Structure 1
Amino acid sequence: MKIAPIVDPHVRRPSPKPMQVDLRKAFILGTVLWTIALVVCICCWQFGHNLWFRTSTVICASGVVIGLLLLVWEFFDRSDYRRLGK
């Protein structure tokens, strides 16, 4: 019966273990993409296409700053993360 796990939780299959991922790769990739977008915005401003310069530059710079902060957080949290994953 398909609704049996909803009615009786003991019928459910056990949950799979969470996958261990390397957060550095994800944070570095995101930070690099935000940095590229920031460089594109600055280049567009230099060539005179300044329709959305302030807004897009602030958004891209915020993405870079958040990415760097996440890399710092991951550096200090890495030992706890690996310990819990085992």
Structure 2
Amino acid sequence: MEDTPTDADTTPEVAPLDVDGVGAVAVGTAAWAVGLVLCLVLRGPLADAGNGWWTWVCLTGAVLGLAGLWYVRRRRDAYRRAATPATPDA
């Protein structure tokens, strides 16, 4: 029996792209904001179709995204402060 390489042997390890989540939350918040702008521009047709509530969903997503962005940036900064060695005062 020959020793054939498996997928686990040949697949390189992939490093995480965004460890702290700031980029992901920022992109998601921007997407909700774009959706909100589109809903505001198309307010009339959306209301005629019975989908006027989409505007409120986009507004809620953008506001919660801003809150999430504040949180993940604060968490990232705390992690960075904890990772740097403390310098003793002379």
User: Do Structure 1 and Structure 2 share a fold, with TM-score over 0.5?
Assistant: yes
Q: Distance in 2 between matches of 1:63 and 1:39?
A: 12
Q: Distance in 2 between matches of 1:57 and 1:28?
A: 20
SS in 1 for 2:42: helix
Structure 1 residue 62 displacement after superposition = 0.6
Residues 81/52 of structure 1: CA separation in 2 closer, same or farther (3 Å cut): same
Structure 1 residue 77 displacement after superposition = 1.0
Q: TM-score, normalised by structure 2?
A: 0.59
1:38 aligns to 2:5 (yes or no): no
Which stretches of structure 1, 4 residues or more, deviate above 6 A after TM superposition?
none
Q: Radius of gyration: which is bigger?
A: 2
Written as runs of structure 1 = structure 2, the 5 A alignment for 1:71-86 is 71-82=69-80, 83=82
Q: Distance in 2 between matches of 1:77 and 1:26?
A: 14
Identity of aligned residues (%): 30
Greater fraction helix:
1
Gaps of 5+ in 1: 1-18
The CA RMSD measured in Å over matched residues stands at 2.2
Q: Distance in 2 between matches of 1:81 and 1:33?
A: 27
Q: TM-score, normalised by structure 1?
A: 0.62
Q: Aligned AA for 1:75?
A: R
